Amino acid sequence: MEKKTIWDLARVNVEQYRRQKKMHLTVVLDNVRSLNNIGAIFRTCDAFAVERIVLCGISQTPPSAEIHKTALGAEESVSWEYESETLTALQRLQGDGYTLCCLEQVKGSIMLQDFHAQEGRRYALVLGHEVKGVSQDVVDQCDICLEIPQSGTKHSLNVSVSAGIAIWQFYQNLHP
């Protein structure tokens, strides 16, 4: 098998990306501290045509050389906004009709493979701090808690890896 060239991939440019139909998914970062993780999440959101990212609390915003290092320009294509308080962002999203989905290990969570996003609904996926996870008050505000099943010795995955896995689950049902 021959590897595809960049021309074989037929990717759109930034302006075309901005005009194309997006998946009805907003990603909310609740105090994600690592600029590399934020950049990687931007890149994943670009790959799957997520409608936007809401950066909250201590989550830094573009422009940033550290975000750019892993985003590789996706911070220019993916729409984003900043909100100092995650709860404020979630209340606004709920008011706009979004179903709030927290990615966190909680009692009563739904295993990710058992969750099926419904076409026509709008979702917000909330991801949390690398060590503390999603804060409890944010968990309490969400409609659904999703959990990635794991079989190893560690209790969690890196937030950017978790984002990729969860966004892929949404993409399977909602891709434009």
pLDDT band for position 7 (50/70/90)?
confident
Mean pLDDT, the chain, rounded, equals 96
CA-to-CA dists, residue 164 to 9, 77, 87, angstroms = 20, 17, 23
pLDDT at 30 over 90: yes
Query: What pLDDT is recorded for position 128?
Result: 98
Using a pLDDT cut of 70, give the percent of the chain over it. Answer: 100
Mean of the pLDDT values across residues 127-140?
97
Query: What pLDDT is recorded for position 21?
Result: 96
In the structure encoding, which two tokens stand for residue 12, read together?
A: 């759109």
Query: What pLDDT is recorded for position 87?
Result: 98
Query: What pLDDT is recorded for position 176?
Result: 74
pLDDT digits (tens, 9 = 90+) for 52-61: 999 999 999 9
- Enter the pTM of the model: 0.96
CATH superfamily of 10-174: SPOUT methyltransferase, trefoil knot domain (3.40.1280.10)
3 state SS for the chain: CCCCCHHHHCCCCHHHHHHCCCEEEEEEEECCCCHHHHHHHHHHHHHCCEEEEEEECCCCCCCCHHHHHHHCCHHHHCCEEEECCHHHHHHHHHHCCEEEEEECCCCCCEEHHHCCCCCCCEEEEEEEECCCECCHHHHHHCCEEEECCCCCCCCCCCHHHHHHHHHHHHHHHHCC
Mean of the pLDDT values across residues 24-52?
98
Rounded Cα–Cα distance for residues 172 and 176 (Å): 10
Domain boundaries, the chain: 10-174
Query: What pLDDT is recorded for position 110?
Result: 98
pLDDT band for position 6 (50/70/90)?
confident
